[in-house]
A and B are shown apart, each in its own frame.
Chain A
């Protein structure tokens, strides 16, 4: 694999993460638990899908085969998606939505901070825009972790269940493969081992403050770096890609 191919795949991975989580959050549009959170989750979805678009545009340019951002989002099959398993997990109750968001926000916060040092100008620019948005998202999810964990008996119980249930998907956030190796050497991508240390420390700190017990690391789910997904991604793509699959190149 050469640097160009690695960069293409890397951009896809970042874009897929944002698109799939953005899609999940957009499912809450008109279904949020309260009006303010309906607006919040869809605002966050908008930021994430916006970031995904810029990353797909860049991926398409890097690939140089005439594909567009829409081709990449709507015309790839499930096995060609590289988003993490965590990002595709269903919204569940509000505690699950918030726990999933918090784990990913903490990751994104430290990740984009590091990406600001990338030698790739475009990624660096996209990180400069994204870090402001992600910081704001993290503030939102952190406040909800504290409020639910240290709230009522019911909210505490639900958040603990959510954290326990999602924990096995968190290990994969830090997995690296050949793509990472090549780009780390070039100074383009951050080393995810460094991000992992910061992630663990921040997550431990907030969970402790929220009186939630941090789960022990056990078996960690894996697969997305190779395009292997949980059963949920297929349903997401079926809905998201329906129109372009049924009416290819349709425009409006």
Chain B
């Protein structure tokens, strides 16, 4: 019989294969939305937390988790939403940040304390050319988690993953 811990490890590995629907270079575990994996009697319960209250990708993530686990032989799966602790970009791993950058999205700068939500980060380096000479175009971007910047050296516009 497989021990519960080994099984959980396998489940995390499976979850790690599910890409974020909007930013496919990082997985849902990289993003930090998976909060808990547990067995409730014979039901496998996965707790997820929304990145933003209205993030339209949450429903997709829920369905992707259900499908992935069903395909891997887990029959009874429940995905539930939890709100505390509130999601923060601090949960995105360094490795995932590097993958974001290579994909063309500047990763969140610094840690998400209050001052960073109320003021702009000092420098957001350009993910294309690495220049630190960049400028905020808009506080909001193509998804709730991103802002728009432009590089004043290579002249490319780019997305910045907001620090929150």
Contacts and interface: CB of A to CB of B under 8 A. Distances in A.
Interface of A: 36-37, 39-40, 43-51, 53-54, 124-126, 128-133, 135-136, 138-140
B77 to A, nearest CB: 21
Contacts of B86: 125, 128-129, 131-132
Contacts of B55: 46, 50
Contacts of A131: 86
Interface residues of B, number: 27
A50 B81 CA distance: 13
B124 to A, nearest CB: 16
Interface string B146-164: 0010000000000000101
A132 B108 CA distance: 15
B33 to A, nearest CB: 12
Interface in B21-74: 50, 52-56
6 contacts: A47-B54, A50-B55, A129-B83, A132-B86, A139-B118, A139-B139
A163 B119 CA distance: 25
B141 to A, nearest CB: 7
Contact of A50 (B54, B139, B148, B162): B54
B52 A46 contact: yes
Contacts of A53: 53-54
Contact of A36 (B83, B84, B140): B140
Contacts of A124: 84
A47 B144 contact: yes
Chain B interface secondary structure, helix, strand, loop or mixed? loop
Contacts of A39: 138, 140-142, 148
B117 interface: yes
Interface in B83-122: 83-88, 114, 117-119
B133 interface: no
B137 interface: yes
B60 to A, nearest CB: 14
A136 B116 CA distance: 10
B117 A48 contact: no
Nearest to B164: A132
A129 B84 CA distance: 8
Contacts of A128: 83-86
Contact of A133 (B52, B118, B148): B52
B61 to A, nearest CB: 14
